Amino acid sequence: MPRPLVVANWKMHGSRPANAELLAALLAARPYAAEVAFCVPFVYLHETAATLAGSELRWGAQDVSEHAQGAYTGEISAAMLAECGCRYVLVGHSERRTHHGEGDALVARKAQAALGRGLTPIVCVGETLAEREAGDTEAVVKRQLSAVIHQLAHCAAEMVVAYEPVWAIGTGRQASPEQAQAVHAVLRAQLQAATGRAQAMTILYGGSVKPDNAAALFAQPDIDGGLIGGASLKAADFTAICRAAG
């Protein structure tokens, strides 16, 4: 069993005063048995790094370019994230797949770019409601993960995977612990077949995780922690979720 991991995904939320208050509260509530990390908007990385440096809390970004450098206006490279001290970067979040047209192959190349600079990619997979209702959940998440496994080859065991059913993200509609566990077991089996080291890998669950459902989700054998959106913006809620993981 890996050490539990809880990752905040602030999305496009925050302001300098609000971030300072939130991070101060999370620092004050230490220690956590789980590893805790914050994936913040790019422009807040420096301040987040300065605030968290010297603590065991980690930080990261919400996206990364597939390219190393060059004429890619608006893009941020893995090397730049590494310079900001990032440990993690989200890749393939459903909001990037939906709103920015990111497909499986691009997501896989982003994961590779991250690993190449020593960042741990948190690879997000998950089905839409229509896909679940059509009985395609397993096929969809396996297809999404397989693209990354193929791209990373012998380094595949170094990624973190996050299962986030699209219908449960920001909707308040939760996957039951059993529904989530069923998909996590599929993902772990796929990772095991590819790496032989899946028991040591981290598979997070994300999608409307709140203080009142976190413990039941994290108690599932193949759920190693959470990727938390809305609830990560409230210090009391996020602290409670971090505690539920440890």
For 109, which DSSP code? Answer: H
Nearer to ligand PGA, 93 or 109 (CB): 93
121 binds ligand PGA (CB under 6 A): no
List the interface residues with ligand PGA, window 6-45 (CB under 6 A). Answer: 9
Q: 184 catalytic, yes or no? A: no
Nearer to ligand PGA, 121 or 229 (CB): 229
Cβ at position 152, least distance to ligand PGA in Å:
21
Which of 60, 126, 207, 225 binds ligand PGA (CB under 6 A)? It is 207
**146-175 mask for ligand PGA (x: CB under 6 A)?**
------------------x----xx-----
Selecting among 35, 66, 93, 131, the annotated active-site residue is: 93
Cβ at position 230, least distance to ligand PGA in Å:
3
For ligand PGA, which stretch binds (CB under 6 A), given 131-139, 185-193, 207-215, 216-224? 207-215
Which of 206, 217, 220, 225 binds ligand PGA (CB under 6 A)? It is 206
Which of 36, 52, 86, 209 binds ligand PGA (CB under 6 A)? It is 209
Cβ at position 174, least distance to ligand PGA in Å:
9
Cβ at position 244, least distance to ligand PGA in Å:
14
Residues linked to residue 38 through DSSP beta bridges, in sequence order: 8, 59
Orientation of helix 235-245 relative to helix 16-28, angle to 10°: 40
Q: 164 catalytic, yes or no? A: yes
Q: What is the gyration radius of the CA atoms in the chain, in angstroms? A: 17
Asked if residue 23 lies in contact with residue 59, where contact means CB atoms within 8 angstroms, the answer is no
The burial class, CB within 10 Å (0-12 / 13-18 / 19+), for 215 is: middle
Q: What is the C-alpha separation between 189 and 198, in angstroms, rounded?
A: 8
Q: Which amino acid is at 210?
A: K
Between the alpha carbon of residue 49 and those of residues 81, 226, 239, the distances in Å are 11, 21, 19
Q: For 113-144, give the DSSP string.
A: HHHHTT-EEEEEE---HHHHHTT-HHHHHHHH
Residues linked to residue 90 through DSSP beta bridges, in sequence order: 122
What sign results for the dihedral spanned by CA atoms 98, 99, 104, 110?
negative
Nearer to ligand PGA, 95 or 222 (CB): 95
Cβ at position 228, least distance to ligand PGA in Å:
5
* Residues labelled as active-site residues: 93, 164
| Chain contacts with ligand PGA (rule: CB under 6 A) | 9, 164, 169-170, 206-209, 227-231
